Amino acid sequence: MRNFYCSIILLICCSIYSDALPLWIAAPYFPNTGRSASTVFVIGEQAFVGLGYDGVDLKKSFYIFNNYSHQWYNAPDFHGFPRCAAVSFVIGNNGYVGTGTGLSTFSNDFWKYNSLNNTWSQVASMPGDARHSAVAFTVFNKGYVGLGYSATGLKKDLWQYSDTTNSWTPKNDFNGAERKSASVFVLDNKAFIVNGDKGELTNGCWQYDAVNDSWIQKTDFTGTPRSGCVAFTLNGKGIVGLGYDTLNHYCNDFMQYDTLTDSWMPFDSFPAAGRSGAVAFSFSTRAYVGLGYDSLYLRSVYYYAALNDEVKEINTAGNKISLYPNPATDHFTLSYDFETGKKHYFSLFDINGKRWMHSLLSESKNTLEFKTDLLNNGIYFYRIETENKSVTCGKIYILKQ
């Protein structure tokens, strides 16, 4: 296996190579048939994905994705009846799954998955109407479930679950119109309910404050109104996208929400087909999105790596990388020695996520010198990736005199 060595001097205003850095990266396929309207919950560094509909059968199987090994594993089947459009939340080491729809019935039952002993057990059913396409989230070690669609129509109620008493408490109703198929994320111990179907598709965004049991309307999602989206958090921001919109097509765009400015801005689009009914889950430095429906039931999964993503199993011993001096004043140098046969990309970002440099590393030389003339003092992040996975990333400090 031959190594290549290269050296190239580039200024910050250098021209960008046409080979684009793959911001979304393919992850291992879901290990069963493609499906839509599944549910997911995360405990530690593992995501539990299950239930759903594959176009033929409603499902009760669950699978575990391990963020360290980057692989899927079997989990015990759900102990309730097969269903889709259920919801889930996490308290401690336990995942709670409930509501949803089966062949001929809506549901309000709930089941607890104990991740320590790998078992399911039934807990108290949620009061109120049985339903599907609700939302669920966790704040301050309490589970919350609300909205959705029941035999009586669209819903706007909200219920809080306590694992210490195995009981449900009604909370203040959602302040917007009744709706189903909305998305939800949690930041700073507040939940944000976005989009959904209220009889017509909406792009509304509402914040729920669990401490005060109160709702506040926030700035509307700036994409097209839609339902069946996914939502996740990464880098301290809420990310919402995909879904089925008012233009009658499956979307692949994402928008990013900043709680400090109450504003949305575009986020990098999904690299595969637009879809509805997908799942999303995130760890501290990675977010995963997959499954769903776009006229086919899909198995594909992709991940997005944060700037500080340093998952150790992909830092191979054959790659030698150094960046110096650090802190830097008027310039810094990247020195690298990679395995041949793969394209490698270098990107530099500021702390707000703005990309200042993005280049394909040449195979003919082995150093890159970067001038700091246009950079301000502060922390910057660099990332080096191949076409399908991260190699390494880190920080550099700019301290000009």
pLDDT tens sequence across 103-115: 889 999 999 999 9
Q: What is the pLDDT of residue 356?
A: 85
Distance between CA atoms of residues 67 and 63, nearest Å: 13
- Tell me which DSSP letter residue 53 carries: B
CA-to-CA distance for 52 and 59, rounded, in angstroms?
A: 5
Question: Which two tokens mark 323?
Answer: 């960046």
* Sheet with strand 263-267: strands edge to edge: 230-234, 237-241, 254-258, 263-267
Walk me through the domains of the chain, giving residue ranges and CATH numbers. Answer: 3-20+311-398 (2.60.40.10), 30-299 (2.120.10.80)
For residue 2, name the pLDDT band (cuts at 50, 70, 90).
very low
Question: Residue 163 in contact with residue 91, Cβ under 8 Å?
Answer: yes
* Residue 338 pLDDT > 80: no
Residue 326 CA to residue 346 CA, distance in Å, equals 17
Band of pLDDT at residue 17, cut at 50, 70 and 90: very low
Residue found under tokens 């880098």: 235
**Number of Cβ within a 10 Å radius of residue 63:** 16
Burial class (CB in 10 A: 0-12, 13-18, 19+), 76: middle
Torsion of CA 359, 364, 369, 374, to 10 degrees: -30
For residue 127, say if its preceding peptide bond is cis, omega within 30 degrees of 0.
no
As a whole-number percent, the residues of the chain with pLDDT over 70 amount to 88
Q: Quick check: 247 and 205 in contact, CB under 8 A? A: no
* Per-residue tokens: 115: 């991740």
- Tell me how far CA of residue 362 lies from CA of 5, 332, 344, in angstroms: 9, 17, 8
Other residues' Cβ atoms within 10 Å of the Cβ of residue 369: 14
Closest by CA to 290, choosing from 2, 27, 22, is 27
Q: What is the mean pLDDT of residues 34-42?
A: 98
**DSSP β-ladder status, 367-371 and 8-10:** parallel
345 pLDDT exceeds 90? no
